[in-house]
Structure 1
């Protein structure tokens, strides 16, 4: 059996921390255009990476749109963002992983391609 060899793609991973209170527990909204997180403690909101640029009303009409939920039914998570880098070091993909506060279940809830530049500023938008 011939298996196509996948090219190595470096990844940077960063945890989401609230800029206001430093907390790590969030409610997360996802749609086809990205993700927005709301701090469960202080209520502060922030878009992840370039989500705000593409957060459109039409993007809420898909199956992947709405609040993120764990299979246990809870909706409070710790979040981390993985940035897949291209050969030139620019960000090519953003992946949002969530860990349920209640039971520790982990999963990828949304990912999207980055097809514009420059991208360095997105590394701070987690």
Structure 2
């Protein structure tokens, strides 16, 4: 693994980490901690239709995969390569223990030394109580992977 360059919100930060604008500090710190020291690129989910940032999320927490539904306009989008495996997915609706199902959504892409994506981690932050969690994650074992960074 690479060198650690500092601490951000009590979470070690890798020198190659990148956090996209608009990701809350709580969600970014949680996703960073979930990466086990690997460099990550954390990207916020933003609706392509209305620029909304709150979503209902369907997840396959067995095989990995997620689809987000915009709370503002009902626009749908798969996260990373989820659409390729969705027909066989074991779906569940993401929900917070408080009962809310509306989330800020961001994705941490764990990167290999050559910059390719090796792991996708979907993190959600509840809009009602602020609780954060990882709701789906999966390994990427093919290349090239640059296209995945835009499918958030």
Report the counterpart of residue 76 of structure 2 in structure 1.
45
Q: 2-side partners of 1:87 and 1:105: how far apart?
A: 32
Deviations 1:18-45 (A, max 9, x none): 0110000100000023000000110000
Distance across 2 between alignment mates of 1:86 and 1:54:
23
* Deviant stretches of 4+, over 6 Å: none
Partner-residue secondary structure (3-state), 2:142: coil
Q: Does 1:97 align with 2:128?
A: no
1:63-102 residue pairs with structure 2 within 5 A? 65-102=91-128
| TM-score in terms of structure 1 length | 0.87
- Residues 29, 36 of structure 1: 8 Å contact kept: yes
Match of residue 148, structure 2, among 99, 122, 126: 122
Structure 1: segments with no counterpart, 5+ residues:
1-6
1:18 is matched with 47
Larger relative contact order, structure 1 or 2 (CA cutoff 8 Å, min sep 6): 1
1:73 is displaced (CA, Å) by 1.1
Question: TM-score, with normalisation over the residues of structure 2?
Answer: 0.73
What is the match of residue 4 of structure 1? none
RMSD (CA atoms): 1.0
Q: Which runs of 5+ in 2 are unaligned?
A: 3-37
Distance between the aligned counterparts of 2:99 and 2:138, measured in 1? 25
Q: 2:85 aligns with which of 30, 37, 54?
A: 54
TM-superposition CA deviations, 1:61-90 (whole Å, max 9, x none):
xxxx30000010110001000000011110
Q: Could you tell me how far apart the structure 2 residues matched to 1:11 and 1:77 are?
A: 21
Counting matched residue pairs gives 115
